[in-house]
């Protein structure tokens, strides 16, 4: 296939977290939607600078937890009171007190599964390749550089304007990344 390679996005390199944070605030205020910031370590306040809302992972773990609790209760009720009733210690066939500890643990288990699965689902991991990994300078993101990446898929993207914006924010190295 001899197609001309598609451009994935534009990568701007910054040298300090403050510069990257400032750039992120500007990019956010310009109204971009499909963009991201990459840093060697978590930068406090970056979520706000990027205008990110609280992650939705919590909902996955909440639903997982509720599922775990109710399925545990139903399972124990069905096994002990319906399918195979045995009297133990003169206690009722089914009691929420006796059933609580396993249900509690199922709540935690499925809650954790929900958190893990929800996280992988939302950030689309694992993936085998990402266009940015082909960019040589981008490897510095694990060392001491900070990158702002704006995708071409963003409706506001324009090669000249976006490049100008990133230059005005103080980036010394701006490159296009191919798909």
Partner 1 sequence: MSSQTNSPTSAAPLDLSKWRKVPMILMIVGGIGAVAGFFVDQHQFGFSWLLAFMFFLSLCLGGLGLTILHHLFDASWSVPVRRIYEHLAFLLPVMAVLFLPIAYLAPKMYPWMQLVKEHTPDHSIKEKFPLFTIPSFYIVAMICFAVWAFLSYKLRYWSLKQDQTGSVECTRKMRRFSAVGVFLFAVTLTLAAIMWMKALQHEWFSTMYGVWYFAGSMWITIFTVYSITALLKRQGPLREVATEKTFYYIGSLMFAFTVFYAYITFFQYFIIWNANMPEETFWYLARENGTWFQIGILIIFGHFFIPFLTLLRIDIKLSWIMIPLGVWAWLMHFVDISFNIMPVKHPQGFVVHWMDLACLAFIGGVLATVFLKYLNAHPIIPQKDPRFAEAMDIYVGDQYVEAATARGIDPKHGGNK
Give the binding site for partner 1 (CB under 8 A). Answer: 44-45, 48, 54, 58, 62, 89-91, 97-98, 100-101
What CA–CA distances, in Å, run from 66 to 51, 71, 95, 101, 115? Answer: 30, 8, 19, 15, 13
What CA–CA distances, in Å, run from 119 to 41, 101, 113, 131, 171? Answer: 19, 27, 10, 21, 31
Q: Give the nearer residue to partner 1 in terms of CB position, either 22 or 34.
A: 22
The least CB distance from residue 97 to partner 1, in Å, is 5
* Under 8 Å between Cβ of 122 and 116: no
Q: Give the nearer residue to partner 1 in terms of CB position, either 91 or 164.
A: 91
Q: Give the nearer residue to partner 1 in terms of CB position, either 31 or 45.
A: 45
The CA-based angle 13-128-136, given to 5 degrees, is 30
Q: Give the nearer residue to partner 1 in terms of CB position, either 62 or 113.
A: 62
CA–CA dist 159, 107 (Å, integer): 49
SS3 label, residue 3: coil
CA–CA dist 162, 29 (Å, integer): 13
The least CB distance from residue 102 to partner 1, in Å, is 12
The least CB distance from residue 14 to partner 1, in Å, is 18
Q: Give the nearer residue to partner 1 in terms of CB position, either 99 or 141.
A: 99
The least CB distance from residue 89 to partner 1, in Å, is 6
**φ, ψ of residue 92 in degrees (nearest 5):** -60, 155
CA–CA dist 61, 117 (Å, integer): 9
The least CB distance from residue 73 to partner 1, in Å, is 15
């Amino acid at each position: 296939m001899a197609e001309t390679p598609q451009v994935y996005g534009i990568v701007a390199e910054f040298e300090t977290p403050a510069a990257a944070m400032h750039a992120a605030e500007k990019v956010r205020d310009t109204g971009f939607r499909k963009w991201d910031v990459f840093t060697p370590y978590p930068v406090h306040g970056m979520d706000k600078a990027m205008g990110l809302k609280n992650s939705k992972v919590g909902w996955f773990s909440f639903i997982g937890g509720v599922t775990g609790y109710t399925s545990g209760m139903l399972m124990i009720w069905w096994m002990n009171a319906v399918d195979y009733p045995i009297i133990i210690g003169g206690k009722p066939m089914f009691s929420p007190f006796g059933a609580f500890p396993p249900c509690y643990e199922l709540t935690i288990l499925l809650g954790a599964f929900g958190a893990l699965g929800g996280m992988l689902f939302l950030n689309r991991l694992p993936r085998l390749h990402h266009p940015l990994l082909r960019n040589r300078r981008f490897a510095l993101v694990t060392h001491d550089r900070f990158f702002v990446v704006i995708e071409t898929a963003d409706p506001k993207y324009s090669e000249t304007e976006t490049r100008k914006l990133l230059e005005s924010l103080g980036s010394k190295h701006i490159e296009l990344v191919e798909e």
